[in-house]
């Protein structure tokens, strides 16, 4: 069974989501918020119920690379957002994701979470690169990728299937990669980090 806490950062605890009112409400507030979800193609937020979120969390397996993870503020014990590790694929590439409630934007939490995800993947797996695809309009997310050593290597447009077109928009994005060799070089310079 996976431990509840996956890793810690200076200000946050990253743990697996629980089927509790606190976590379900956080996911509901995050996923139904147009300000958050417009960047991933849902300009009106997700059309989802709290019951569906509860059932989704309750049905998840125990593996941290598949599980919904919650970022919790250490001092207040309040969930501030979600993240995903992403299991490395056959090419050794892992795709992460970070979403925070808007009231926590602009305080460096996103970069803190992203750095923790990168550190965890390179420390605990044979991952060779960590990928992210921030929306071209999401400057904060692009800066977050660059702050953890991400290189902009490509761009593209994600289009939803035809049956989802009525409530989604295309997502023009950049492709960023953090490569293991860059991460190892940075860690040697700073002497490691306190995640894991």
Q: Is the pTM of this model over 0.75?
A: yes
Q: Which domains does the chain have, with CATH numbers?
A: 5-190 (3.40.630.30)
Closest CA relative to residue 25, chosen from 37, 14, 17, 36: 17
Q: 34: which 2 tokens?
A: 């147009």
CA 69 centroid distance within chain: 8
Helix H or strand E encompassing 51: helix 50-58
Per-residue pLDDT of 3-29, as tens digits, reads: 589 999 999 999 999 999 999 999 999
Decide the pairing of beta strands 12-16 and 79-84.
unpaired
Closest CA relative to residue 2, chosen from 60, 88, 48: 60
Per-residue pLDDT of 129-188, as tens digits, reads: 999 999 999 999 999 999 999 999 999 999 999 999 999 999 999 999 999 999 999 888
- pLDDT reported for residue 196: 43
């Amino acid at each position: 069974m996976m431990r509840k806490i996956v890793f810690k950062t200076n200000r946050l605890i990253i743990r697996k989501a629980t089927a509790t009112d606190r976590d379900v409400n956080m996911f509901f507030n995050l996923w139904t918020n147009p300000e958050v979800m417009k960047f991933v193609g849902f300009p009106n937020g997700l059309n989802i119920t709290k019951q569906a979120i509860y059932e989704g969390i309750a049905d998840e397996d125990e593996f941290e690379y598949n599980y919904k993870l919650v970022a919790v503020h250490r001092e207040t014990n309040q969930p501030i957002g979600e993240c995903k590790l992403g299991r490395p694929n056959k090419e050794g590439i892992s795709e992460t994701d970070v979403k925070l409630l808007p009231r926590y934007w602009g305080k460096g939490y996103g970069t803190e979470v992203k750095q923790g995800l990168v550190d965890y993947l390179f420390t605990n797996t044979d991952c060779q690169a960590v990928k992210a695809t921030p929306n071209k309009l999401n400057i904060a997310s692009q800066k977050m990728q660059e702050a953890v050593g991400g290189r902009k290597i490509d761009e593209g447009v994600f289009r939803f299937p035809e049956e989802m077109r009525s409530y989604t928009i295309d997502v023009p994005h950049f492709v960023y990669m953090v490569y293991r060799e860059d991460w190892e070089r940075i860690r040697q310079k700073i002497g490691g980090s306190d995640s894991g």
